């Protein structure tokens, strides 16, 4: 009987160790995923801000040539040649969608920047406050 109790105690200790190990591995995975998403999000936000400033820089160049960077009829909202110039200046790898531009003040008022699984939205409200929103899109690809 004592022998059987000893084996049961050993099995309980082994199971406790396995459960604790699995819990620690899950915690490590969650922590890794959280910090990776957060750090990549900062990179996407930096890319979006660089793209915004690049658009405004290109707008100054275009103004000198008598042209406009904003083209609401194009798929990306930018005139011909702006996208390539912005990508070169910003060094950003994402896609820019220019949704609003204030010609009188030469500034971006609304844009969306997509890089990988991150979407950064920028807008300026009626009070003139800048609003940056960062979203992470989790693609489950279940089908």
6: its two tokens? 């000893």
Residue 38's pLDDT is what? 85
The answer, as to whether pTM is greater than 0.85, is no
Q: For residue 52, name the pLDDT band (cuts at 50, 70, 90).
A: very high
Closest by CA position to 108, among listed 81, 74, 69 = 69
Q: Does residue 15 carry a pLDDT above 70?
A: yes
The vertex-112 CA angle with 65 and 118, nearest 5°, equals 135
Sketch the domain layout of the chain as residue ranges: 41-136
């Amino acid at each position: 009987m004592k022998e059987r109790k000893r084996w049961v105690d050993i099995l309980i200790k082994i199971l406790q160790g396995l459960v604790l190990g699995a819990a620690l591995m899950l915690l490590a995975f969650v922590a890794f995923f959280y910090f990776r998403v957060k750090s990549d999000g900062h990179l996407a936000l930096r890319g979006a801000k660089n793209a915004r400033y690049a658009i405004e820089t290109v707008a100054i160049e275009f103004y000198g040539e008598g042209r406009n960077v904003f083209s609401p009829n194009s798929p990306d909202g930018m005139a011909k040649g702006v996208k390539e110039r912005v990508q070169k200046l910003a060094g950003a790898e994402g896609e820019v969608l220019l949704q609003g531009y204030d010609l009188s003040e030469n500034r971006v008022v609304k844009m969306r920047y997509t890089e990988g699984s991150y979407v950064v939205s920028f807008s300026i409200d009626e009070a003139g406050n800048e609003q940056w929103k960062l979203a992470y899109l989790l693609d489950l690809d279940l089908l």
